[in-house]
Amino acid sequence: MQGTQAAAHRLARLLFILILGCGLGGRVLAQNAVEPDPRDPFEGFNRAMFSFNDTLDQYLLRPVAVVYDKATPDPMQDGIGNFFNNLGEIPTIFNDLMQFKLGQAGLDTTRFLVNTTVGLFGFIDIGSRIGLTRNNEDFGQTLGYWGLDSGPYLVLPLLGPSTIRDATGMVPDYYVSPNRAVDHDTTRYSLRALDLVDTRASLLEAEKLVAGDRYAFFRNAYLQRREFLVNDGQMADDFLDDDDLFDDFDDTDMESESGG
């Protein structure tokens, strides 16, 4: 039961982070929903699950995040976000080692120790201030690093967007998660809820980036983001040349964004 809840928390965070299309720059554009996507053979099921998750967000999580955002000062939100990011360094370091990124593992360990001690348990991100940038590694990326294909896109109830590979990777990540070290149930669940609400609140403004078919937008954002992470920021040429990504983005949108 605890494993399922931890996996739900981790993947729900990822769902909302995807709104930004992190690391890709600019908008992530929806694919034509009429044309079947070979990456998404379970689209009928996935759309139903996406609708369920999206409704749950709009009627439950988002309203809570709005209240939290208005009631919590920005410096406190920054500190809370830094605290949970610091906890996330532990599975990142584990996956650094699994990918034989020994230099990165050393830097991430140093960052974790600095932020945990000088940064007051991570509330102050000292690591970034001294040039130790934050990395993001999970076991889904580790499987991709070792050549395992992502498999079909899959939207899980409550858990959000995934693939066969990434869903499998949630299990090892759970066992190295620092949440398992918290024995007190109320404390553990409260920390998970706070992390999720804080992350959701930080992305309220980013919702404006969502364009066109919401399902296709999030699907493309997720798959592109995962490709980006598995390849350490390097995108394949065939991905960069994929004109289908821009099917729902017309010239008038481009002109309005450029001020033309």
According to the model, what pLDDT value does residue 235 have? 57
3-state SS string for the chain: CHHHHHHHHHHHHHHHHHHHCCCCCCCCCCCCCCCCCCCCCCHHHHHHHHHHHHHHHHHHHHHHHHHHHHHCCHHHHHHHHHHHHHHCHHHHHHHHHHCCCHHHHHHHHHHHHHHHHCCCCCCCCHHHHCCCCCCCCCHHHHHHHCCCCCCCEEEECCCEEEEHHHHHHHHHHHHCCHHHHCCCHHHHHHHHHHHHHHHHHHCCHHHHHCCCCHHHHHHHHHHHHHHHHHCCCCCCHHHHCCHHHHCCCCHHHHHHHHCC
According to the model, what pLDDT value does residue 143 have? 96
According to the model, what pLDDT value does residue 227 have? 92
According to the model, what pLDDT value does residue 128 have? 94
According to the model, what pLDDT value does residue 183 have? 81
According to the model, what pLDDT value does residue 99 have? 96
According to the model, what pLDDT value does residue 78 have? 94
Residue 23: partners with Cβ closer than 8 Å, 6 or more residues away: 225, 228, 229, 233
Task: Copy the structure tokens of residue 87.
Answer: 């906890």
How many Å apart are CA 198 and CA 80, to the nearest integer?
Answer: 7
According to the model, what pLDDT value does residue 247 have? 46
Mean pLDDT by 10 residues, the chain (260 residues): 46 44 36 70 95 94 95 94 94 96 96 96 94 94 95 91 95 89 85 92 86 90 92 61 44 40
Q: pTM of the entire structure?
A: 0.74
Structural domain boundaries in the chain: 2-258
